Structure formats: structure tokens, C-alpha cells
Amino acid sequence: MTTAFVLGGGGVLGAVEVGMLRALLERGITPDLVLGTSVGALNGALVAADPTPAVVDRLTGLWRTAATSGQEVYGDRPLRSVRRAVSTGTHLWSAKPLKQRLVDELGEVTFEELPVRFQVCAASIERAAEHWFSSGPVVDAVVASAAVPGLLPPARVGDEHYLDGGIVNSIPLGRAVRLGATRVFVLQVGRIDRPLSVPRRPWEVARVSFEIARRHRFVRELDELPDGVTAHVLPARGTSGRDDSLLGTRDFSGVEDRIEATYAASAAYLDGLR
């Protein structure tokens, strides 16, 4: 049996994945393969580097720091963000603080040096294609996967530029199956459970369109699981539609409550499998 952890994207909602990881690792469920997109790539990189319960404390500390000081992650005050948007025309925040925090956590580790096989999804601009990082520096790949359009600048790795992996594959279940996983635990942030409403404002159109595309692909891949492969979609708790607003992307308040609530729900789910 080959066990995969698939960690989906979701910005600030990615905190719930820490609760899921705690529930899994406490029960002795460890991955042979970790796949991550966007914030799931960040969480996934740490668990691939340290697939033990100890990693939960590291992740909780990272999210707790973000909750007490969003500027440590994004490095900007609102006025500076506005100035950057005007000067660049493409993004609000600098990627440098995020990259530095990842370097602090992971150093210069490469995919080849990780104890668990790990891959990261990003969207290639030049090729207009889904790209999977599986070799080279891990931090560069995670920054590329988390380059949210309009919020962070496109990330350059080698001769190409990348945007957030959620554009092309937000919850990469099918990738895990293609790589040989027979038991998949899906760590998703809760958006797939929310009902969608008809957009009423211009800025809601893109969000709703993206959600339709994201959910359609995941549901299709879930329906197309081959015989002999099982997938467990772990439950997320403590999230709401307010988290999808522009201001919500920086609102880290309540992340510890979300982690705890999701841990309890995931623990109950996993105990029910026994």
C-alpha cells in the first residue's frame, strides 16, 4: 500500500491542514508521497521534511506567528501595498518575507534530500501549463506554487515564470493516483463544501468562476478513482465565505481555533475508519 497526502490550496484557510496532519500523524498514518499546491505546498514541504508528530508544533508555531503579525509573512503595511500595486501594476505584496520564512524553516534543502517523496504544483506562464516541481531547491518551488495572482509577483525559477498552482490543479488527487498511490488522504480547506451563489459584483465573477473550475476537476477525479484506490477527504472546520474576501486573505485571526476544530473533526473521522 502506498499512502499519499494531498494538500490543497486555500490561502489563510490552509491552517486547517495542520489539524488534519496532527490527527493523521498521531494515529501512525504517515505518507510515502506528499503533493502540495499553494499553501498546501508550504504545509506539505514541512511534513515531507519531518513526517513525525513533531512537525505539527513547527507548523502551529508558523501559523501562530502569522496570526500575531501578518506583516511577518507579507512584509507590508496597507499603504505600502497600495504603492507597490501602483508601481508594479501586477501585485500588492512582496514575496521576500515569505521566502525568508521558508528558508528559516527549510534551509536550502532539495527535493532529492527529503525523507519523503514530495512534489509541488505551479502554473507556468510561458507554457500556459501545469508544472510539477520534483527536483532542485524546495523553497523556490513552494514560493512559485504560492504566487497568488494580483497579491504576489510571478515567481521566476530557471528560465520560466510561475503563478499559483491552484490555477491549474488546486487539489491534485489525480496526480497522486498517477504516481502510484493506493490510499490517499485529501487535506482540503473546506471550500468544496460551500454552496456557491450567483455573483452580484464584478470582483465576485472571477472567484465564482475559479471555484467552479476547481471543484469540477476535483469531483471528476474523485469519481474516476480506479479500482484498488481509496481516497479519504478529511473534514475542515471553522471556515466561512468571509475568508474569500480581499481583506480575508490577510486575516489570520482564529487560526488556532480552526486548527483545533479541524483536528477534532478529522480525528473522529479517522477513528471511524477503524
Low pLDDT (below 70) residues in the chain:
66-95, 240-253
What is the pLDDT at residue 125? 96
> Which one of 76, 140, 164, 243 is the catalytic residue?
164
- Measured between alpha carbons, how far is 52 from 25 in angstroms, rounded to an integer? 6
Note if the pTM is more than 0.95.
Answer: no
What is the pLDDT at residue 204? 83
What is the pLDDT at residue 66? 66
234-252 per-residue burial string, b: 16 or more CB within 10 A, e: under 16:
bbbbbbeeebbeeeebbeb
Q: Where are the alpha helices (DSSP H) in the chain?
A: 16-26, 39-49, 54-68, 70-74, 78-88, 96-106, 138-145, 173-178, 202-223, 255-273
At CA 16, angle to CA 106 and CA 48, rounded to 5?
30
Backbone angles phi, psi at 120, to 5 degrees: -130, 135
Residue 164 is among the residues annotated as catalytic for this protein: yes
What is the pLDDT at residue 83? 41
Q: Which amino acid belongs to residue 144?
A: A
What is the pLDDT at residue 71? 47
Residue 243 is among the residues annotated as catalytic for this protein: no
Measure CA 135 to chain center: 19
Which value, in Å, is the radius of gyration of the alpha carbons in the chain? 17
Q: Contact at 8 Å (CB) between 146 and 104?
A: no
What is the pLDDT at residue 54? 96
- Measured between alpha carbons, how far is 100 from 225 in angstroms, rounded to an integer? 38
What is the pLDDT at residue 210? 79
> Which one of 38, 81, 145, 170 is the catalytic residue?
38
